[in-house]
Structure 1
Amino acid sequence: MTSRLTDQQKQTWASFREFADEFIAPEARAADEQQVLSRDLIKKLGSAGWLSVLLPEEWGGRALDWVSYGLMAEEMGRTCQNVRNFVACADMVSHAIWKWGTQEQKDRWLKRISSGEAVAAFVLTEPKVGSDAKSVQTEARLDGSDIVLRGVKKWISFGEIADVFLVFAQYEGRHTAFLVERETPGLRVEALQGLLGLRGSSLGEISFDDCRIPASSMVGQPGSGLVFVASTALDIGRYSTAWGCVGLAQACLEEASAYARGREQYGTAIIGHQLVQRMLADMLTGATASRLMCLEAGLVKDAGGMDAVNRTLMAKYFASTTANRVAADAVQVLGAYGIGGDSSVARLFRDAKVMEIIEGTTQLHQAMLGTWSAHVPHPAGTSARPL
């Protein structure tokens, strides 16, 4: 795969792998057990320049290309999915503000988010609204020069610790986005803990009880919330998740193969047993294929391809289902050690299942890709026809 990367992309990959091993990996277990990321780590991400990297430099970013962004997400996924999720959420919000926000909104938030000073949350999901994002029930109404929000959001990553929320609501019957600061009267946050995976992502339930914000808090225009603001952000999150699944699968492969080389049963290392070899072979092949599919999605995005969104959908679908299988096999290879409370593959196994749910469920992706399949041209450039 490296033959398809530029020298700059290789250097970016190497530099973040070094950062991830030194600063992220040692925090992964604590984030999972304590169910929160340390502010010190968040500040390190900011000071190292790994937040809002898609933005131009003038706003604290790096103007990173999509392939490099994916390689970064892989290394975060390899070491700690909670950190990858945090960076993705920060990028989703900051990119939305940069692309659709006012000058005042950009000046107030972008550099604070990119430095790690402010934590941002993407607030779309509701207790009764998940994949069907257009059906949000939270309401926003104009009252004088203010907007009044009323409703409940749930399963919001980093909602427990966020300083600013990008909130989606129905405004005059149209899906619209707003920025809401944490200390706004009428906003209440309840922590959601004890989840299966991504425990360090500080999920929260956010209630808006006649929460009053300035009308200038609107991001974009009335009715642009889903089609423009949310869709752009969700594509970033889906792309990050896809690459993060590659990293998760890679971590499981490394753990399982190392254990198999050192664990002896019946007088030989278990890596010599054919059924273990089969699991390791499937893990290696799945991780490699997922990486190549994500790379293809990144190359199409960098080229501005019309099917970039669907390529990302396909990469996320394949990589997340693969990560789930690979993580299950890694637990199997490690046996009793794989299910221990201090096992890293146990944490990866729990996180892997979440990957099939966030940023669009496996079943939603199947439905969307099934529809798209009828319109995919042949790789040689001609339309495929049934034989």
Structure 2
Amino acid sequence: MASARDLLSRPNSPSFLESLYTGKLQWDLLDPFPDQDAADRAAGDHALAEITRFMTEWIDPESVDETSTLPAGFVEELKKRGLLKLGTAERSGGWGLTPRNIFRVVTEVASRSVAVALIIAIDNAIGISAYLPHLPPGPLRDFVQDRVERGAVSCTADTEPEGAANTVRRTVAVPTEDGDAFLITGDKVFVGNAPIADVVIISATVTEQGTTQRRLFFVDADTPGLRVHAEHGFMGLRGFPNGAFTFDRVRVPRTRMLVEEGYEGRMTRTANLATMLGRNYLIAAPSLALARLGTAWAQDFASRRSVDGRTLDQYDEIRRVLAAAAADTFAIDTLTTWTMVQPDLDGPVNTAFEQLAVKNISSLAAWRVLDRSMSVLGAEGFESGPSKARRCAVPVPLERAVRDARGLRISGGVDFALDYWAGRLVLPTYYPQPRPAADLDEPEDLTGLSTQWLTGRNTDHARYATGQAKELARFMLRVRERYAEADELLAAERVVISVNAVVNEILTMAAVLARAATLAEAGHTWPQGLADVFCADARRRVTDLWAAAEAAVSGDEPDHTALCAGLAEDGRAAGIFQHTSVPAHLARAEGNEQ
């Protein structure tokens, strides 16, 4: 059965991140840093212009946020304009855009409404059009092709009430007596586009001939027994159609089941491949949009607000905050350029591992940007846009952006859980037999990086990143002495999470430095400062992450287990939780006992 590492690795396509796992930075893969070619950029510019006009005409973002409702007829207009199949060929009613331009479109839409951006992203990322390239010729492909050409809205129903992280799917598909179909029974929750979907992709457990496997089924939403029984409302992302499904013996022809080889992950092999690229559209694109907005809002506010006769942007601390926000935004843009310009796993460079990493990197960086922006704007940032408008202040919707950005850290996997899942990819380099780079004791080698185009500070950052990659390998070799088996290390979750967070910081440092060098060679020296600020901040984060990892390995840290056990005892934490209301489900349970 294929592992996650097996799924992403390509023997004939080198991977920067996979090499980093061994302790080596292959600078020559990053430098010269890739960029979108002129013809493709022009095609994207045309699409952006048209979609911007469409969004301006149809969407009032404050109204969508206030009412949690999209304008009447809007979804039909999305279908009519082919915005749910941006990557589909024009002959099939799509736009024929490349992944890079799809990303640009979603980013632009998110700058006006994250809710609308997610509707578009879902269909293009994990909807039926995203699965089409993975389907072999046959009835299932014909069905999906037909629905794509009709402009159907689709969604993927995978998360269950028990939680998304579970490997087992309680939704079951039972074969009919004649074997020609399945009856699907179960529940799904937090399904994006569920209330507006025409086609539903359902994950379910199938048992046949003594073998149990997870399978995907492609089902028309009007099939008897399939119903949306609740629409979810969130703190942010208001107006985004999201809901729960119940399946009551939904009959699905066997030909609508995707049969694929076994895979040890919590999702099927094909779902993993689609979701990996999809996170760029679903999470990274809105994160970039919000980071850009937050940076611009903070800069504008700082230039027009004064304290004691000096505008805020003349104060040292404010300048540091503004610079850090711009640097984080540059980092998101850099990493998504890297993954989107060359998204093909079998291309000259395999960016599959980076596509997985980009979700956490982008959403956490966007959160830092907006949190800083909130501090700069103060009460005016915390105040809602409509409230500011009522008193004739600049109605910057920072409060809404913060709510939306918090959702992006959850969607697609809560950040620390995703760090844990991604951290598992490092382990095969060291278990069962270690295969680190051969030059761990050699001086830092910057071969492949055009250091002549970097400032002295940035060259030092590159040397630091190279050294930290070596430190990663040395740390993992030491960890083997403490945890002889991979499963033992996986039980030490804080270690795995911290290691992956370090990997993400090294990756992003390397990417921004390589891009800064390439841009400097072309005559653009201004990104040098952005790279410097980002790397300086990243180095402080790396120091903290290594401290957390070392403490978890050595045991020189508080006894969290004992503390949690104590909290569970009656009266132990009364002083902490005094006057705290009992959760409703516990209150009902206590009432039943009485």
TM over 0.5: yes
Per-residue deviation at 1:379? 8.1
What is the SS of the residue equivalent to 2:367?
helix
Q: Distance in 2 between matches of 1:183 and 1:5?
A: 41
- Deviations, residues 241-295 of structure 1 (Å, cap 9, x unaligned): 2132111101111222222222233223222233222221111000001110111
**Conserved? CA contact 1:98–1:110, under 8 Å:** no
What's the counterpart of residue 230 of structure 1?
A: 271
Aligned to 2:364: 321
2:219 partner amino acid: V
- In structure 1, the residue matched to 2:102 is 69
For 2:297 and 2:33, the matched residues in 1 are separated by 23
Question: Cα offset for 1:148?
Answer: 0.7
Q: Which amino acid aligns with 1:285?
A: A
Match of 1:112 among 150, 158, 181: 150
Query: Partner of 2:194: helix, strand, or coil?
Result: coil
Q: Residue 211 of structure 1: SS of its match in structure 2?
A: strand
Task: Give the aligned residue type for 1:167.
Answer: I
What whole-Å deviation, never above 9, does each CA across 1:76-120 have from its counterpart, x for those lacking one? 23222212211121122222145327243134311123xxxx321
User: In 2, are the aligned partners of 1:131 and 1:361 still within 8 Å (CA)?
Assistant: no
Q: What is the CA–CA distance in structure 2 between the aligned matches of 1:379 and 1:362, rounded to whole Å?
A: 31
| 8 A Cα contact 2:332 2:365, kept in partner | yes
* CA pair 107-68 structure 1, distance change in 2 beyond 3 A: closer
Match of 2:513 in 1: none
Aligned pairs for 1:1-387 within 5 A: 4-24=35-55, 26-38=59-71, 40-91=73-124, 92-93=126-127, 94-100=129-135, 102-113=140-151, 118-132=152-166, 134-143=167-176, 144=178, 145-172=180-207, 173-221=212-260, 226-240=267-281, 241-302=283-344, 304=347, 307-342=350-385, 343-373=396-426, 385=470
Identity of aligned residues (%): 23
Assess if the C-alpha contact under 8 Å between 2:51 and 2:105 holds in 1: no
Q: 1:48/1:328 Cα in 2 relative to 1: closer, same or farther (>3 Å)?
A: same
Structure 1 residue 13: deviation in Å? Answer: 4.1
236 and 149 in structure 1: CA distance in 2 versus 1, 3 angstrom threshold: same
TM-fit CA distance, 1:70: 2.3
Kindly provide the CA deviation profile for residues 339-368 of structure 1, in whole angstroms up to 9, marking residues without a partner as x. 223252111101111111112221133224
Tell me the C-alpha RMSD between the 2 structures.
Answer: 3.0
Counting strand residues as a fraction of each chain, which structure ranks higher?
1
Distance 1:232 1:373, change over 3 A: closer
In 1, Cα distance between equivalents of 2:421 and 2:141: 36
The amino acid across from 1:56 in the alignment is A
Are the equivalent residues in 1 in contact too, given 2:328–2:365 (CA < 8 A)? yes
Q: Tell me the SS of whatever aligns to 2:375.
A: helix
Equivalent position SS for 1:180: strand
Indicate if the aligned counterparts of 2:217 and 2:256 stay in contact, CA closer than 8 A: yes
Quick check: 1:97–1:105 contact (8 Å CA) kept in 2? no
Distance 2:414 2:232 in 1: 21
Q: Say which SS state the counterpart of residue 317 (structure 1) adopts.
A: helix
The 2-side partners of 1:53 and 1:278 are apart by: 39
Total equivalences in the alignment? 382
> Does the Cα contact within 8 Å between 1:126 and 1:154 map onto a contact in 2?
yes
> Partner letter of residue 194 of structure 1?
G
C-alpha separation in 2, matches of 1:123 and 1:39: 25
What is the distance in 2 between the residues matched to 1:76 and 1:328? Answer: 22
Shift of 1:296: 1.0
- Choose 1 or 2 for highest CA Rg: 2
Larger displacement relative to structure 2 (82-91 or 147-156):
82-91
Other structure's SS at 1:176 match: strand
Give the TM-score normalised by structure 1.
Answer: 0.87
- Determine helix, strand or coil for the equivalent of 1:200: coil
